Each structure stands twice: as structure tokens, then as C-alpha cells.
Amino acid sequence: MGKKRRGPTLEELLARPWCYYCERDFEDLKILISHQKAKHFKCERCGRRLNTAGGLSVHMSQVHKEQLSAVDNALPNRSGLDVEIFGMEGVPEDIIQSHNQRVLTQFQQAEAERQAVTGNPPAGTGTGQPSAKKPKVESVSEMKKRLAEHRAKRAEAINGSSAEGTPVGAGQTPPTGGFGQSPQSPAAANQQFSYPQPYGAAATATANQPYQQTASPVYQNYSPGGQPQFPAQYTPQSFQAGTPGQPFPAFGTTPTPSPFPQQQPQPQVPQNIASPQTTPGFTPRSGSLPTAPSLPQRPSFGAPQVNSYQMQQMHMGHPVPTPPGASGADKTPTPGAAPDDQVAKPAEATEEKPTKKDKSKQARLVYSDNEISPEEKMAGLSRYAFVPNRQGETTVERAPPSTIVGTIRDTDNTTLDPTD
Amino acid sequence: MASNQFTVASPPSDAISALKFSPDPESTQFVVSSWDKNVYLYDLRDENGSVGEGKLLQRFEHRAPVLDVCYGANDNEVYTAGLDWDVRRINLATSEQTVLSSHDAGVRNVVYSKEHSLVVSASWDSTLHVHRVDTSADIPPATVPLPSKPFSMSLTATKLVVAMASRSLHIYDLKALALLTEESGEVVNNKIEVEPWQRRESSLKFMTRCVACMPNDDGYASSSIEGRVAVEWFDPSPESQARKYAFKCHRQAAEDVDVVYPVNALAFHPVYGTFASGGGDGVVALWDGIAKRRIRQYQKYPSSVAAVGFSGNGKYLAIAVSPGFEDGRDDIPEGSVNIHVRELGETEAKGKGAK
């Protein structure tokens, strides 16, 4: 049975390039860059697309003698010119982090919603029923039972996978404590990143009895809601690169079973971004920046894309100061983007050249007679002739052409070189 | 939000010189003047009153190509100007034509001021004729000499803007013109020397192609043969004058040269105050003159845009397409003259506001 692919995986979502100015994400870097050129770095006066906000600023001041004050179509707190953005380059680290947080939150939310609606296991588990199910209403006892089964299943997986040699992802010191499990990290990590465990699989409900009591009705959120908080603490680079052994300062080192496991592993997501399901235990991480305070919940996946203009509209009237992290000091290029750095800079440097070329660019006027209007010429055609004696037509004597720029005389001898 | 577009049936057989909608917001009538010596009256509504493809109601033949047309006091009255040197009034209901005055050369433009009941015509004989049309008394038109040949003319409730050769531009106060016209009977040849309220030099380096006044009486836009549009304000204060600007448009980059088309037509939206420009490249673009932004640009038409016009309520944009002289074509191929009407969406012509 072929698996039905429902949507992008979390990894794919996190890997998508996105726009610093409007938080929209894109298929690949090229599209992002062309988006930025079209939406944020386009000169409103002449339509020229520049590569960076700085380039646009220079263009505006040199060509139009205007001062660029803010980046167009940007979210209110992202419109500053002090950050030099090109594609994904130059995005401050903290903003990347909070973006990833939000992607995660949304992913969970979408996942949770989808599960709530379909009753299906998470994407990628392969047992999903293609038929859409009605929203399933479970009694508390049923849910508890399922939770117990799930726990047993997990315990089994952990035991079974202890032989598994390769740790997956960054999950070395994971929040297993949050789940009250013995901290056998590889398995836990495994569990966290791939959502692989089919709930329906046979599981003997042996272990974890105590937790049955604490099972909350928000069962659906339990796994997808709680888990992905974990990678959020890392930058996507470390997450993807799978650097093992990153300390997990918040709680990973203290795997004390908590009586409320669902809420434990969630301290990382800034409140303003958190979805209702994931909000309860959240506290903004101290030292991290809740960027884009007025940023709305991104649309859940599958929902229509909000374009940047609408996005901007949604933010009108919320003038938010530029995020503290948006200053130049924070411009740590992300490791992943670093190789492109050298590529980007020359491109930027050359961007003013075409402008100068533009000025000297030959312009060919389709209609270049600066003295006789097209209508007069047409009127001179025989087929339009009305009065044979048309002195009025040639009232203006043509003086020898002289090159005059910007002056006007009372007579009609101002001739401009059309190619000027 | 694609707008509905349709092509008006039975277009003129030769190049179009002007297109004007009735200023009445209720009306969907418009008149078109053509080089085929006719003035055409169309209505977008059919007999049942629903807006359809637009149909030809009537045709008024002239002795020579007609260069301009404008609506008068109501939907039954239009004024025309043409190569037969005459300024005429046409009663659309009775098809009766009256010659108001004759110039000494072809008459390029004619405009009507509702507020002052004036008809002003501009001719290549470098004069304006100012006619009072409210009185039944036979007041002969006053003649106002111009320093150069006029190319385009537009007016607001209070002002008349005349764009001329040599990049000169005069702004007249209509009240003064009206008063002086009344007194002109006592002067030889009815010639009155009116000092324009303002004399200006065009902000554009090349020949002025078209001027159009803002509906709110604040200023005007002008275009040149060199793909450029300037927006200026009447207010002579330095602050207002500092606001004026010009921008390039209607150009096409072809390899290493920019092909620059004349901007033949400008028209302001009666409600939103945005404006449309039509160029020799067959492109019509909508602009927000205040926010200095292009709102949208429509797909290229097969030949030059000769005239554009918004309906009185601003819901329709008519675009007259005809092979212009700048195309270098002498003959007009069959079917190349067309009038396209766009039904504009609610906010299609609305500016986005300053950023």
C-alpha cells in the first residue's frame, strides 16, 4: 500500500528558505531572492530591482535623490535598513531561531489539528486510513487506555532500540525526563523526529502505570505537542547536522519524572507564537528574543498562503520597534549560508554598475520630432487634407537645430537631441 | 482580480483622436472622435439598461478629421474640434451641428467648463477661442493668443492648463477668462490679452504630448513623447513645487537600447484621483500620483494607445487603440482600430496609499 503523503515533514519545513522581511517561506533560495527583489528591494520610482536594502537605499539616493527610510512590504519590526539581508544571509541568529520555533509550533498545531480531525496517526506512520473520519470523541477512559498503550509501545521501542547504534539527529540529551522515561536518549530522539510509532501497533500496556493517572485529555497533543519543542532549542544547523552531545540546559540534564509530563518539555516557545495547545507551560526563554512580537500565527499548512502584502496589511497599525536583535552586531551569518557569502557580496557590488550604464544607455525614441506633433504630421497627409491652403500648418519656422538642454525660448527653436 | 474587458463593436475605421466619457456618473455613454471624419457616440448599456458589449448609437460626420471632442452641459451636447478649423456643437438628440467659431488652422483641442459655461478651443493657429455658451445672446468668442502651438489642454473647476510647443505651459484662471470674454466684444477682433495665472516650462525635456488635471483641482500630470510623465501642483508655494516629480514609463528595453514610446494619453480617475497613462507601446498603466506608485499595468495592446478615459463613476476604463503615426505606418489595417472597455474591480484603480 503506497503511503499517502500528506504534507512536508518538519525537516523539510525547517529547511525551507524564508524571507526575513515578511516571514514568508519559499521552495528554494532562488525564489526567495527573486521575491525579495520584487517585494522588498524594488524601487518604487523606476521599478528597478536591487539586491539588498542597502543597494536600494543607494539607488534611491543616487538616482532619485530620495532617502529610503524603510523596506517596503516588510513586517513592522523588520523594515529596518540596518540589517543587510540577501536571501537567507544576514538574518540575525535569534530571528532564525524564533522563526524555527514558529515553524515548529505550527507544525505541531497542524499535526494536532489534523489528528484531531481525522483520528489518524501522524504523517509518515503509514497506517493512516485514507478515508476521512469524523471527529472522534473519546471518553476519558478510552483515552487513558490509549495513552497507556502508547506508553507501553514507547517503552518497548526504547528497550528494543537500545541496540540501535546510530543516534539520530540532535537527540543526545533529550527531554526524556519530560516523559518520565528512563533517559535512553537515542530511542527518544528517534521518536521525536520521525513520529514513527503507529499507535495502533500492538503494545502491551505494562509499563507506565503511574502515568495513566496523569494522562490528560489533551492526549492528542501529547506526542506532537510536546516533542518538537526539543529541537527548537537548537539552531536548525545543529539540528540538521546532528551534532551530538549539545547540552540541553533547560531540563535535559535533570530527567526527573514529572507528574505533568505533557507540559514539562515546553518551555522554549515564546508565548506570542505559541499555539493554544502548546501554550500552557510556556515561558519565554530568557535571553532569547521573542522577535516579531506582533507576528501572527502563520496559517496552518494547507491553508492559503498569505501573501506579504496581506501580511503587511495585517500588521498595519502595529508599529513595533525594530527588534533589539536586528542590529548589525547580531549579524552572525548562519553556518549553512556561509559559503554563499562570497557569492553574494560581488553581486551586490556590481549592482550599481547597471544603473550608471542605464544613464548612458542609448534611448531610441519612437517618435523623435520634438517640434511637430504626430497629429500635425498626420494632418499633413494627403488623405486627411481638408483645406489646400494650410498655412496654419506651418506657422512655426524651423530654426537650425541647436543643442539646448533645459532652456526655453519664446520661439520654437528648441531642438533637443533625442538621444540625449 | 482580473477585470472584465470587452471590445466595443463597430469601432471607427481610422485612427482615433480622442475618447471622452460622459461626466455624468449615471451615464455610460462616451464619444469618440476619429480621423475618419466622424464622431461616434457609444453606450455601454444596451436597450435594457444592462451593461453589455457597448454599442454604437450614432455617428456624426464632419468635413475633415476630428481631433477632439468633449461633453457639454449634459449628455445631449458635445463639442468637437477638427481639421476643418471649426469648433462645433452637436446636439446628440437632434444631430444638429452648430459652428461656434472658426480658427485659422486645425483645431487640436476643445474643453468645456461646467462651472463657468465656457467652451475653450485650442488651435494650431496658436490661439485659444473662448466661447460663452450659457447665454442665448450671441457673444462672439474671445481670441487669446498663445506663444506656441497648443498640443493638449485640460481643465479643472477653476483652471485651464494649455500645453504648447517649446515646452511652454500656461495655466489660466477660468474665472478671469470668463470675465474677459464678456468684455471682449468691445475689442477689435475680440482679441484679449490675458496674462495667464501661471506660465510654466514643462518639467519634461521633450515635446508635451498630453496634460490632464487632477479632479481635486490640486495639480496636473503631463506626458511627453519621450516616455515620461510629470506630476505637478498648481500651488506656487515652494513646498508644493518641491513635490513635483517625473518618472519614466512606456519604454521597452531591446538589447542595449531603450525603445522609448510617446505617452499619448492621460486620464484621471474621477473618484480615486489616480490616473491612467496610455503609450505608443500599446500599454496602459494605472498610477497613484500621490504615493508615486504604479498600481497596475495592463497587458499590451497590439498597437498604440491613442486615448484613455474613465467613466463618470469611475467604474469603466475605455482604451482607444489605433496605429498611431509613431508606428511609422501610413495605412490603417482593417481591424487595428479598437476600443476596449475594462470593467474595473472595486479597488482596481484605487491607490494603495502612502507607505
| Phi, psi (rounded to 5 degrees) for B228 | -145, 150
Q: Which residue has the higher pLDDT, B110 or A206?
A: B110
B207 touches chain A (CB under 8 A): yes
pLDDT at B46: 76
pLDDT of chain B along its 355 residues, tens only?
Answer: 445 788 888 889 888 999 999 998 888 899 999 999 999 999 988 777 677 778 888 899 998 999 999 999 888 999 999 999 999 999 998 988 888 888 999 999 999 999 988 999 999 999 999 988 876 666 778 889 999 999 999 999 999 999 999 999 999 999 988 888 777 666 666 777 788 899 999 999 999 999 999 999 999 999 999 999 999 999 999 988 999 999 999 998 877 888 899 999 999 999 998 999 999 889 999 999 888 888 889 888 888 899 999 999 888 999 999 886 655 555 666 678 889 998 888 778 887 665 4
CA B259 – CA A366 distance, rounded (Å): 7
Collapse the DSSP code of A77 into the 3-class scheme (helix H, G, I; strand E, B; otherwise coil) and give the result. Answer: helix
Give me B210's grid cell: 498630453
Sheet holding B219-224, edge to edge: B208-213, B219-224, B228-233, B245-248
Q: Which of A64-78, A283-297, B172-186 bottoms out in mean pLDDT, i.e. has the lowest?
A: A283-297
CA B133 – CA B112 distance, rounded (Å): 9
Number of domains chain A contains: 1
Residues from chain A that touch B355, judged by Cβ atoms under 8 A, are: 44, 70, 72
pLDDT at B163: 94
Give me B13's grid cell: 475605421
Query: Residue B197 in contact with residue B159, Cβ under 8 Å?
Result: yes
pLDDT digits (tens, 9 = 90+) for A369-392: 888 888 888 888 778 877 544 444
Q: How far is B26 from chain A (nearest CA, A)?
A: 33
Domain limits at A277?
A: 93-291
What type of residue sits at position B255? E
What does the buried/exposed string (b/e) look like for A46-75 if buried means 16 or more CB atoms within 10 Å of the residue's CB? eebbbbbbbbbbbbbeebbebebeebbbbb
Query: Residue B274 in contact with residue B350, Cβ under 8 Å?
Result: yes
CA A202 – CA A163 distance, rounded (Å): 21
Q: Which of A107-116, A236-245, A311-320, B107-116 bottoms out in mean pLDDT, i.e. has the lowest?
A: A236-245
Q: What percent of chain A has pLDDT over 70?
A: 37
CA B45 – CA B30 distance, rounded (Å): 11
Query: Smallest Cα–Cα separation from A373: which of B103, B88, B163, B260?
Result: B163
CB atoms within 10 A of CB A28: 11
Residue A301, domain member (yes or no):
no
- With a cut of 60, say whether residue A57 has pLDDT above it: yes
- With a cut of 60, say whether residue A420 has pLDDT above it: no
Q: What are the C-alpha distances in Å from B353 to residues A65, A149, B27, B290, B292?
A: 21, 59, 29, 8, 9
**pTM above threshold 0.90:** no
Residues from chain B that touch A396, judged by Cβ atoms under 8 A, are: 148-149, 165
The highest-confidence range among A107-116, A401-410, B152-161, by mean pLDDT, is B152-161
For the residues A380-406, what does the mean pLDDT come to?
Answer: 51
Nearest to A46 among B126, B248, B281 (CB): B248
Residue A173, domain member (yes or no):
yes
Residue A340, domain member (yes or no):
no
What type of residue sits at position A252? G
Sheet holding B275-279, edge to edge: B263-268, B275-279, B284-288, B293-297
* ipTM of this complex: 0.85
Instruction: Catalogue all structural domains in chain B, each as residue range(s) with its CATH number.
Output: 1-179 (2.130.10.10)
Confidence category of residue A135, pLDDT binned at 50, 70, 90 = low
Residue A336, domain member (yes or no):
no
Nearest to B260 among A365, A377, A408 (CB): A365
Mean pLDDT of chain A: 59
For the CA atoms of A231, A233, A235, A238, what is the dihedral angle to 10 degrees?
Answer: -60
Q: Which of A98-102, A316-320, B76-80, B340-344 bottoms out in mean pLDDT, i.e. has the lowest?
A: A316-320
pLDDT at B329: 56
B239 touches chain A (CB under 8 A): no
pLDDT digits (tens, 9 = 90+) for A21-31: 888 888 888 89
CA B42 – CA B56 distance, rounded (Å): 4
Residue A411, domain member (yes or no):
no
Q: Which residue has the higher pLDDT, B165 or A332?
A: B165
A366 and B65: CB-CB below 8 Å? no
CA A353 – CA A348 distance, rounded (Å): 10
Q: Where are the beta strands (DSSP E) in A188-254?
A: none
Confidence category of residue A308, pLDDT binned at 50, 70, 90 = low
CB under 8 Å, gap of 24 or more: what pairs does B237-244 form?
B244/B203, B244/B219
The burial class, CB within 10 Å (0-12 / 13-18 / 19+), for B302 is exposed
pLDDT at A94: 87
The conformational region for residue A266 under phi > 0 = left, psi -120 to 50 = alpha, else beta, is: alpha
CA A120 – CA A8 distance, rounded (Å): 16
The burial class, CB within 10 Å (0-12 / 13-18 / 19+), for B297 is middle
A370 and B225: CB-CB below 8 Å? yes
pLDDT at A170: 42
pLDDT at B33: 94
For the residues A281-288, what does the mean pLDDT come to?
Answer: 43
Residues from chain A that touch B257, judged by Cβ atoms under 8 A, are: 361-364
B205 and A406: CB-CB below 8 Å? yes
pLDDT at A159: 64
Give me B304's grid cell: 498604440
pLDDT at B353: 60
Residue A102, domain member (yes or no):
yes
The pairing of strands B127-132 and B142-145 is antiparallel
Residue B163 neighbours by CB under 8 Å, 6+ apart: B150, B151, B152, B153, B169, B202, B208, B210, B211, B222
Residue A354, domain member (yes or no):
no
Q: Which residue has the higher pLDDT, A141 or B304?
A: B304
Quote the DSSP letter at residue A393.
Answer: G
Query: Residue B250 in contact with residue B236, Cβ under 8 Å?
Result: no
- With a cut of 80, say whether residue A73 has pLDDT above it: yes
Query: Smallest Cα–Cα separation from A95: which of A114, A117, A80?
Result: A80
Selected residue of A367, A389, A407, A408 to mutate for chain B interface (largest B Cβ count, 10 A):
A367
Residues from chain B that touch A365, judged by Cβ atoms under 8 A, are: 206, 225-226, 260, 262
pLDDT at A127: 47
CA B142 – CA B309 distance, rounded (Å): 29
CA B214 – CA B310 distance, rounded (Å): 13
